[in-house]
């Protein structure tokens, strides 16, 4: 509980006090007018005259004679008009200054800068020493050493194992890549330019990033190509660029365990998750889908066969025959053929219920352009997960869950395949973790798929094996709509870092954050007036450190950050245009836009995103990052004066 005072204590407590103030103000005003008249006399006569007192002003008003302010030795006094003119000018300037000051003050106290400064000073908000100790450069270096165990302590730097989010209380803050992060911000709140672009570019190892638009891809792909291979997986053609490598959900399904995992991913992402309204039909759908994938893999067939079987139960008889053939050879999972045949011969109504999730999962394959990028014809076309992790590649996954061309289930199946393989590789590495870690920048993930069950698990334990998820949502209502209420809560609770941008309007969700911020004890001063005078009384009121209204009002470029069990932090996020490579990012974005219209620009874009050909198009920047603190960054920032 943090205590502060609310309400100003003045010195006016009674009618006598009021009288003293009024009399003092009148005398001061008369003295000022007298002083102005003396100056005018001096300018007009060349010598000072001595007035009798401040009440000479009243004599002048009644007589119009400037001699009341005194005369020089030769009897000179200023003309009447000059004194009146001087009074009007000076009084006008004073009034203009007062009115201007009042207007400026009102604008100032209602400005974003004043609001942020008040938040920083508020009791209950983490101050610079706490920020420094928790997320400062020294703490970040220690955290990076844990995330990157193969690098010696002498060589380790904070950037090698952390995500830089911005500046809080004058301290640059770094979040360990061992933490799981969630970012909540409504549309147009600056999630991309404020956070995601830098998170993608600064990741020391492989990156998987999702989106429904080409923004992040266009701004970061050429720069990421300098670190490792860049791959675009865009089955729906949202970027206007061809998918550079392909991946099939059938790959690896010769193994029953892989087929089961892949089927679970596809069915869950198609809308039959454990928390969906029709959750009871998920298990039967997974059993059917795993058999179809297993049969296709054993026979060397592609997704066309899976699509055909998934859309029509009678057609799946072919899969039964394939499974029986390979079961006789001892290479197919025992009993899967019999189970699939039983489902095919089920009562039509029951069969329809079981097949519902399967047909939904393969619906996107009905479009040839989608089917083509999920059906590699040769080994060279196929996305190599091991190479991607080994070479610190970048995978851009584009898609939406709406429309007949939705490839969401297959995108999620691909994500699961990569993260599962990453876990296997981590188990064989030093201290059982990927080094460098795999960064997941999951922008618009709720708009790509109905639900990704694997994300909750990754948020809970991914950091321990070197997988760092940064999940980005427009609101928690969006998460609940896709994952269900319980799963959404589990996902949110698993995040050790929670960032809230301004502009949100769901009061229930904001109230949850407000409750997390804690309370401050405010001593409220109340005044009462009676005939005998006025009196003051104090009352203690408990108020949230961050009320709902304040969370909603957080300005663009700022965020409220909740880190583990620490007090909330007010963070000024470092926009990408303040980076040293900002002009490279702008050049990349401009080149991408031109490449949609021009064949020559398209060729140059392809060279820019090629690992070997990534030099030459995007020029090294000479822009200095003026927002980056220098060596004494751990000192508290200078406070803006508050009125």
Tens-digit pLDDT profile for residues 477-521: 999 988 888 889 999 999 999 999 999 988 999 999 999 999 888
Provide the pLDDT for residue 642: 30
- Please enumerate in sequence order all residues whose Cβ is within 8 A of that of 390, keeping only pairs 6 or more positions apart, or say none: none
Q: How far apart are CA 71 and CA 69, in angstroms?
A: 7
Tokens of 489: 């809560």
- The pLDDT confidence band at residue 14, using thresholds 50, 70 and 90, is low
Whether pLDDT at 635 is above 50 = no
Whether pLDDT at 629 is above 50 = no
- The pLDDT confidence band at residue 4, using thresholds 50, 70 and 90, is low
Tokens of 388: 């991607």
- Please enumerate in sequence order all residues whose Cβ is within 8 A of that of 329, keeping only pairs 6 or more positions apart, or say none: none
Fold of 145-149+158-245+383-578: Rossmann fold (3.40.50)
More confident residue, 330 or 534: 330
Whether pLDDT at 534 is above 50 = yes
pTM higher than the cut 0.85:
no
**Ranked by mean pLDDT, which of 24-33, 530-539, 582-591 comes out on top?**
582-591
- Give how far Cα 138 sits from Cα of 131, 142, 181, 463, Å: 11, 7, 21, 20
* Helical segments of 449-520, H only: 453-461, 476-483, 485-494, 507-517
Q: Give the mean model confidence (pLDDT) for residues 352-358.
A: 90
- Please enumerate in sequence order all residues whose Cβ is within 8 A of that of 636, keeping only pairs 6 or more positions apart, or say none: 127, 128, 129, 169, 170
Q: How far apart are CA 292 and CA 307, in angstroms?
A: 9
- Pick the closest to residue 560 from 99, 184, 37, 141 (CA basis): 184
Tell me which residue has tokens 């990012």. 585
Whether pLDDT at 68 is above 90 = no
Tokens of 488: 């959404």
255-298 pLDDT tens trace? 999 999 999 999 988 877 766 677 788 899 999 999 999 999 99
Provide the pLDDT for residue 380: 84
Tell me which residue has tokens 């289930």. 409
Residue 218 C-alpha from the chain's centroid: 19
Provide the pLDDT for residue 406: 67
- Give how far Cα 339 sits from Cα of 261, 289, 307, Å: 18, 11, 19
- Give the strand pairing for 569-573 and 467-473: unpaired
Whether pLDDT at 61 is above 50 = yes
- Pick the closest to residue 387 from 605, 159, 224, 228 (CA basis): 228
Q: How far apart are CA 540 and CA 542, in angstroms?
A: 7
* Delimiting residues of CATH 3.40.50.300 domain(s) in the chain: 145-149+158-245+383-578
- Pick the closest to residue 120 from 542, 573, 569, 521 (CA basis): 569
* Helical segments of 521-616, H only: 548-553, 582-597, 599-608
- Pick the closest to residue 441 from 207, 183, 202 (CA basis): 207
Provide the pLDDT for residue 621: 36
Tokens of 23: 């009399």
Count Cβ atoms below 10 Å from residue 159 Cβ, excluding itself.
16
Tell me which residue has tokens 């000059």. 82
Rg (CA), the chain: 35
Q: State the helix-helix crossing angle for 453-461 and 408-427, rounded to 10 degrees.
A: 30
181-220 pLDDT tens trace? 999 999 888 898 889 999 999 999 999 999 989 999 999 9
441-483 pLDDT tens trace? 999 898 887 778 889 999 999 999 999 999 999 999 999 988 8
More confident residue, 92 or 56: 92
- Please enumerate in sequence order all residues whose Cβ is within 8 A of that of 499, keeping only pairs 6 or more positions apart, or say none: 165, 181, 182, 183, 184, 185, 195, 559, 560, 561, 562, 571
Q: pLDDT averaged over the chain?
A: 86
- The pLDDT confidence band at residue 603, using thresholds 50, 70 and 90, is very high
Tell me which residue has tokens 């001699």. 67
- The pLDDT confidence band at residue 618, using thresholds 50, 70 and 90, is very low
Question: In this prediction, what percent of the chain has a pLDDT beyond 90?
Answer: 54
């Amino acid at each position: 509980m943090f205590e502060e005072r609310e309400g100003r204590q003045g010195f006016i407590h009674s009618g006598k006090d009021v009288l003293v103030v009024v009399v003092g103000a009148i005398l001061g005003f008369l003295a000022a007018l007298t002083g102005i008249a003396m100056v005018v006399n001096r300018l007009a006569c060349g010598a000072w005259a001595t007035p009798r007192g401040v009440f000479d002003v009243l004599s002048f008003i009644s007589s119009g004679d400037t001699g009341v302010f005194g005369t020089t030795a030769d009897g000179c006094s200023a003309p009447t008009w000059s004194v009146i003119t001087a009074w009007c000018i000076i009084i006008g300037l004073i009034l203009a200054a007062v009115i201007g000051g009042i207007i400026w003050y009102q604008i100032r106290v209602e400005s974003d800068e004043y609001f942020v400064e008040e938040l920083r000073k508020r009791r209950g908000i983490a101050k610079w020493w706490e920020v420094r100790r928790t997320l400062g450069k020294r703490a970040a270096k220690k955290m990076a050493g844990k995330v990157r165990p193969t690098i010696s302590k002498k060589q380790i730097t904070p950037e090698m194992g952390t995500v830089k989010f911005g500046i809080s209380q004058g301290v640059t803050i770094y979040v360990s890549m061992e933490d799981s992060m969630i970012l909540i911000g409504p549309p147009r709140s600056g999630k991309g330019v404020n956070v995601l672009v830098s998170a993608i570019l600064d990741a020391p190892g492989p990156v998987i990033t999702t989106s429904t638009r080409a923004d992040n891809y266009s701004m970061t792909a050429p720069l990421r190509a300098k670190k490792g291979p860049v791959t675009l997986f865009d089955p729906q053609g949202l970027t206007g660029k061809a998918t550079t490598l392909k991946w099939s959900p059938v790959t690896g399904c010769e193994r029953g365990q892989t087929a089961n995992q892949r089927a679970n991913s596809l069915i869950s992402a198609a809308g039959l998750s454990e928390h969906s309204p029709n959750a009871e039909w998920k298990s039967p759908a997974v059993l059917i889908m795993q058999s179809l994938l297993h049969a296709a893999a054993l026979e060397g067939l592609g997704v066309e066969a899976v699509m055909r079987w998934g859309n029509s139960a009678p057609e799946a008889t072919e899969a039964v025959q394939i499974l029986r053939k390979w079961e006789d050879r001892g290479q197919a999972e025992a009993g899967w053929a019999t189970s699939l045949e039983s489902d095919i011969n089920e009562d039509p109504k029951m069969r329809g219920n079981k097949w519902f999730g399967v047909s939904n999962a393969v619906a996107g394959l009905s479009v040839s352009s989608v089917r083509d990028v999920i059906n590699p014809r040769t080994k060279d076309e196929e996305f190599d997960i091991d190479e991607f992790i080994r070479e610190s590649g970048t995978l851009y996954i584009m898609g939406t869950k709406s429309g007949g061309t939705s490839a969401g289930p297959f995108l999620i199946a691909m994500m699961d395949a990569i993260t599962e393989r990453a876990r296997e590789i981590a188990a064989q590495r030093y201290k059982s973790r990927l080094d460098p870690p795999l960064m997941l920048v999951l922008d618009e993930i709720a708009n790509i798929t109905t639900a990704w069950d694997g994300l909750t698990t990754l948020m809970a334990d991914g950091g321990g094996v070197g997988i760092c998820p940064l999940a980005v949502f427009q609101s928690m209502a969006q998460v609940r709509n896709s994952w269900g209420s319980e799963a959404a809560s589990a996902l949110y609770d698993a995040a050790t870092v929670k960032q809230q941008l301004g502009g949100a309007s769901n009061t229930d969700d904001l109230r949850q954050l407000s409750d997390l911020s804690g309370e401050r004890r405010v001593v409220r001063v109340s005044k009462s007036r009676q005939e005998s005078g006025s009196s003051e009384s104090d009352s203690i009121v408990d108020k949230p450190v961050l009320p709902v209204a304040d969370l909603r009002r957080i300005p663009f470029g700022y965020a409220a950050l909740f880190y583990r069990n620490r007090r909330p932090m007010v963070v000024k996020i470092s926009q990408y245009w303040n980076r040293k490579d900002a002009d490279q990012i702008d050049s990349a974005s401009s080149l991408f836009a031109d490449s949609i219209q021009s064949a020559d620009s398209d060729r140059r874009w392809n060279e820019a995103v090629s690992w070997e050909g990534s030099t030459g198009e995007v020029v090294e920047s000479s822009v200095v990052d003026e927002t980056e603190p220098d060596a004494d960054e751990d000192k508290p920032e200078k406070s803006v004066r508050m009125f």
